[in-house]
Amino acid sequence: MSCRYRSLRNEAVCRTVLIFLPLITTAHVSRVLGTEGMGITAVSLNVISYFIMAAQLGTHTLGIRTAAQEPAQAEHVYHDLFSLQIITSLFSMVIYLTVLVLTHATVIMRIQMIRLAACMADCSWLLKGLERSDRYVLCALLVRITDAVCVLLFVREGYAPQETYGLIQAAGTFVTAAVSQIYIRRLGFAFRFRTDHFMTSLKGSLQLFVPAAALKVFRIIDQGMLGILSTAQESGCYACADRIINIPSGILEGLLILLIPGAIRAHKANSRQYCSESMTVLLSASAMISCGLFMVSQDAVTLLYGKGYEAVTGLSRLLSPFVILKTYTMAFRCLYLIPAGKQKQDTVMVCLAVLLNILLDICTVPAYGAYGAAAATVISEAALALMNMFCHPAIRISKPVFLRTAAACICCLIIHSALPDIPAVRIAADAVIWTGAALWIIQTKEIKGILKRIREDYGTE
């Protein structure tokens, strides 16, 4: 079995396992922190996200693309881009420290500094670009499991729970980043700080930074607008719903990053089959996930968060179509725009979507709070998807797969609406219905053929 296939398989397995870790820890943390504490934690993560964007400066995407295009020059890519990453991370850390001093920031804000240090050490982009991340993702999974255990053991009322939770999460991020360096050393790469091609690397990073930053702002702008225009409680409710939505979105986005090298090879061969097949599978999976989220939202929120989080059910259902829309826009970017070098067009479309999102937030958040932010997210993501459809060559999605997926989702929702209002019965019935529908979709002739071809492609060097 090739490293390429093991990397894809391990990433899928690990991200699937990681579904359950947030479910376990969130049930505990939400009861300890409450909606206000969850909101404060979410705001601190939102603030540090902007500095992380500046620290990375597009090096991760550029590193994956360059390593995939020129694997023989991977060591030189590592030296050049990691040197740039160190410089940009140090610059971002200095700015963040200045902000902390001037604003007399809280302890939780100071703790987030560890995440910037993690950015300086993280070179997982090289492993993913070379498709040699098979063992690294297993190690990262072990770190995340350890984090979850520590959260359950040490986040307690009366023992600075916000700070303890933030410290555990930030420390896990740093350890995961440091582990990437160990696996790079095993490839035989010894880092040497180099600035020979600094300006070239900086230019390439900036070209990818603008669309990446726009996407990041697009993803976190609602939480920031809630922090400005609404209350901490509204921010906490939105953060809880967003966390549920982020679980499947994170899995699909992680798989998309690993599909970039294959998309680059397909683009060189002037073939769109790889992109179309990958999009077909991913959109079918995202549609079923979105349907499943809508079905289990009420019971999942009750089990995870307990009392005081009733509003999260409606928010989760309102955000459930976001999974499909986000999968489409991310897949289009990773499988077509990046391999084709169309960053400028991507940047313009994302910036327009960000502007629309901000305008909608300004109009809806003061009146409707978290619900207004959720509606703004879905509408702006739908607008971005429509722009992708109209401004670029259409990618063919298998019609039989589309029709079967739509039929499965509609049947699941109809049967779910007829179930008795007994949580235990509803959960069991939903699980059986959804599993049966998913298996029915997998039996589609086109899906079987696509999965077989993907396995054959990734099973050979």
Contact 91, 51 (CB under 8 A): no
| DSSP 8-state code for residue 81 | H
| DSSP 8-state code for residue 73 | G
- DSSP string covering 401-431: HHHHHHHHHHHHHHHHHTS-S-HHHHHHHHH
**Among 46, 48, 55, which residue's Cα sits nearest to residue 205?**
55
What pLDDT score does 73 carry? Answer: 82
Q: What digits encode the pLDDT tens for the residues 5-60? A: 666 666 666 766 666 676 678 778 888 888 778 878 878 887 888 888 888 877 87
Q: What digits encode the pLDDT tens for the residues 278-294? A: 888 888 888 998 999 89
What pLDDT score does 2 carry? Answer: 57
Query: SS3 for 251?
Result: helix
In three-state form (DSSP H/G/I as H, E/B as E, the rest C), the secondary structure along 430-460 is HHHHHHHHHHHHHCCHHHHHHHHHHHHHHCC
| DSSP 8-state code for residue 196 | T
d(CA 360, CA 277): 34
Question: For the chain, what are the domain ranges?
Answer: 3-458
SS3 content of the chain, % helix, strand, coil (to 5): 85, 0, 15
Q: Which tops the pLDDT comparison, 257 or 442? A: 442
Token pair 């995870």: residue: 304
What pLDDT score does 119 carry? Answer: 87
Please, what's the b/e burial string for 241-272 (b: 16 or more CB within 10 A of its CB; e: otherwise)? bbbbbbbbbebbbbbbbbbbbbbbebbeeeeb
For residue 230, what pLDDT band results from cuts at 50, 70 and 90? confident
Q: For residue 304, what are its two tokens?
A: 């995870």
Neighbours of 103 (CB within 10 A): 9
Residue 458: is it exposed, middle or buried by C-beta count within 10 angstroms (0-12/13-18/19+)?
Answer: buried
| DSSP 8-state code for residue 71 | G
| pTM (predicted TM-score) | 0.70
In this structure, the dihedral spanned by the alpha carbons of residues 326, 332, 334 and 335, taken in order and rounded to 10 degrees, is 140
Name the packing angle between helices 74-103 and 113-121 (round to 10°).
170
Beta carbons within 8 Å of 421's beta carbon, 6+ residues apart: none
**Percent of the chain clearing pLDDT 70 (strictly above):** 86
d(CA 54, CA 216): 11
Beta carbons within 8 Å of 359's beta carbon, 6+ residues apart: none
For residue 96, what pLDDT band results from cuts at 50, 70 and 90? very high
